[in-house]
Structure formats: structure tokens, C-alpha cells
Structure 1
Amino acid sequence: MSAHCQLTGAKPGFGYAVSHSHRRTSRRFDPNIQRKLYWLASEGRHVRLTLSAKAIKTVDAIGIEAAVARIRARGGKV
């Protein structure tokens, strides 16, 4: 599964893991991505979205209809 959020566009960040001796090795900071199923009443169907934890809270606040409109405005497929 891709580590990208459909609503917020959150994606992995990259940096270094720094040891006690200060040696650096590359690492990846992944967002907290979850797959969530929502009922989209306007289309009479379920939609499965790949969202970050922050985006799930956003959907709870603004509603699934507005969230799907934002995803489509960004050029995403739902």
C-alpha cells in the first residue's frame, strides 16, 4: 500500500537515524495511513479511502461529501 493520503496529500518524509556515536543512516518517516470505508449517500455506494489519521478526523469534522469533493478537486480518483 502506498504511504500517501488521498485527502491531505501527506507522504513519507526522509531523514537520518542518529546513533549514540552520531553515525547517520537513512530512514523514512511514514505517515499514519489507514484504509477506511465510508458510505457516500449522494452516489448510493461505499468508497474506500486511504487516509492519514489526521485526515480521518477532518472527514469527521467536515463530512464525507465535502471530503470527497476536496479529493476530486485535487485530481484524485474516488
Structure 2
Amino acid sequence: MARRCPLTGKGIQSGHNVSHANNKTKRRFMPNLQQASLVSDALGGVVHIRLSVNALRTVEHNGGIDAYLLGIADTRLSDDARRLKKRIEKALAKQQKAA
């Protein structure tokens, strides 16, 4: 499982621990990834996705996972997020056709 957020692309960064004597040792900065359950109106259920807390805040700010994915370009999303976006678009098209 990659330590990368599928929505924002946040991943591992590297840097140094710096001591008081200015000794530098390598370290890794890990993204704050959390398992989240987001409600999708288009899919009619819950979507389980592992994303960063920053992405979770952005999704909630934009009005949910459906609105966020429909409003962002495909090139900025990971493959898993693109598949989810296609499922949402397909479900919305089906609902439009039925109405």
C-alpha cells in the first residue's frame, strides 16, 4: 500500500533531524493518511478511501466526494481516484436518464 494520498498526491518527504550541535541525520516526513468513510449520493452508499487529513478537509469544503471529484481534472488524480470518478459520472448519467 503506497503512502500517497490518491486525491492530493501528498507523499513521503525526506529531510534531516538537526541536533543542537547541528548534526544532521536523515529522516522521513510521513503524510497523515487516515481511513475515511465518505457518503456518495451518486453511488447511493459509503465509499471507503485512505486519504490525507488535508484532502478530507478539502472534500468536505467542496461539498462531498461527488462534488470534489467532478470538479477536479483527471490529470491531478491517481488511478484509483479516476476509477471512482468514472463510477460517479456513470451513476449520475444513469440517474439523469431515468429522470
TM-score between the two structures when normalised by the length of structure 2: 0.66
Q: Cα deviations across residues 37-75 of structure 1 (Å, max 9, x unaligned)?
A: 0121211232111121111111111121023344x8224
Name the structure where helix makes up a greater proportion of residues: 2
Which of these two proteins has the greater Rg computed from alpha carbons? 2
Aligned length: 77
Whether the 8 Å CA contact 1:16–1:26 is kept in 2: the answer is yes
Name the structure where strand makes up a greater proportion of residues: 1
Whether the 8 Å CA contact 2:6–2:78 is kept in 1: the answer is no
Q: Identity of paired residues, percent?
A: 34
Q: Cα deviations across residues 19-54 of structure 1 (Å, max 9, x unaligned)?
A: 122211110111211110012121123211112111
Unaligned runs of 5+ in 1: none
The list of structure 1 runs, each at least 4 consecutive aligned residues, that deviate by more than 6 angstroms after superposition, is: none
Matched residue, 1:76? 79
Q: Which amino acid aligns with 1:66?
A: A
Unaligned runs of 5+ in 2: 85-99
Separation of aligned partners in 1, 2:32 and 2:78? 22
TM-score between the two structures when normalised by the length of structure 1: 0.80
Matched residue, 2:30? 30
